[in-house]
Structure formats: C-alpha cells, structure tokens
Chain A
Amino acid sequence: NAGVTQTPKFRVLKTGQSMTLLCAQDMNHEYMYWYRQDPGMGLRLIHYSVGEGTTAKGEVPDGYNVSRLKKQNFLLGLESAAPSQTSVYFCASSYSGRESSYNSPLHFGNGTRLTVT
C-alpha cells in the first residue's frame, strides 16, 4: 500500500497563476483533508471531505477550492496564487467519522512545498 500520495512535491508559482495539488489514498478512507503548515503555527485545516462528492470548509478556506469526484482522490486548487499561500500543503485521510477517533489516526502524505513569488 502506498498510503497517501501527493503530487507534485515542489512547485514555484508566480502571483496570479493557478495550479492543482493532487492527493490519492489507497486505504479506502472516507474522510480526506487538506492542511497547510507554516513556520511557528500548527497545522491548519483548509478544506475537508466526508465522502465522495462532498466537500466542506475548514479553518482557512479563502483562496482555495477542492473537489472529491472519486473516493480515493482529493484535489486542492489555487485559482489565483498569492504570496500568502506560500506554505507546505499536506493531504491526510482517516476512517469514517463514525469510527472512534481513538482508532482513526490521520494518515498524512509527504507534502507539497509551494512557493508563490
């Protein structure tokens, strides 16, 4: 099992450009998440999905859009990149929210390092 796979690993954008970050999981997890990690701050939730075809906003959703057309994939889009979106982006997945959180750790990908100039 590959677990959670993120592509690309690195990307440099110019202000105003757009891009899509890809996340794929092979664990048949219902829940998927996009976080960003910035120096001196804890992981912050951007958007999440509780199942195929569903998405919801997290703590810092502005400037991002997501789609979950297939259960195993969760896409994060930046329509018009800004320097404030320079960050490391992590995708994660977990078992159904109906499971006890005790048994449902988050499984993270290895991140996408994005720089917006």
Chain B
Amino acid sequence: NAGVTQTPKFQVLKTGQSMTLQCAQDMNHEYMSWYRQDPGMGLRLIHYSVGAGITDQGEVPNGYNVSRSTTEDFPLRLLSAAPSQTSVYFCASTRLGSYEQYFGPGTRLTVT
C-alpha cells in the first residue's frame, strides 16, 4: 500500500493564479481531509469529506474548493492564490469508526 500520496511536493505560484493540489489514498478510507500548517498556529482543517459526493467545510475554507468524485481522490483547488495561502498543506484519511488518521507527506506552497 502506498498509503496517502500528495503531489506536488513543492509549488510556487504568483498571486491570482489557480492550481490543484492532488491527494490520493489506497486504503479504501471513507473520510478524507485537508489541513494547512502555519508556524505558531498548528494544523487547521480546511475541508473534509465523509465519502464520494459529500464534502463539508472546516475551520478555514475560504479561497479553497474541493470535490470528491471517487473514494480514492480528494483534490484541493486554490481558486485565486493569495500570499496568505503560503503554507504547508497536508491531506489525511481515516476509516470511519476507527478515526486513526493517516497523513500524506505534505505540499509546501509559496504564493508571491
């Protein structure tokens, strides 16, 4: 099993550009989520999904969009990048009922 994979590992964007961060898992987990990690603020939940076709907002959803068309994939879209979105982004998955979280390696995003 590859576990949770994320691409790209690093990305630099200019203000106003859009992009999609990819996340995939091969553990057949129902629940997937996106976090951002900023110094001094810990990890904060952006969006989450409890299954294909179902998504919901977390603490800091503004400026981000998600969809879940398959169990395996949960992409995060930045609609119009802003410097405040410079951060490290982590994707995670878990099986409902277990709630043990598995994290991907992260994407380091810089917006200039």
**Are A and B a genuine interacting pair, yes or no?**
no
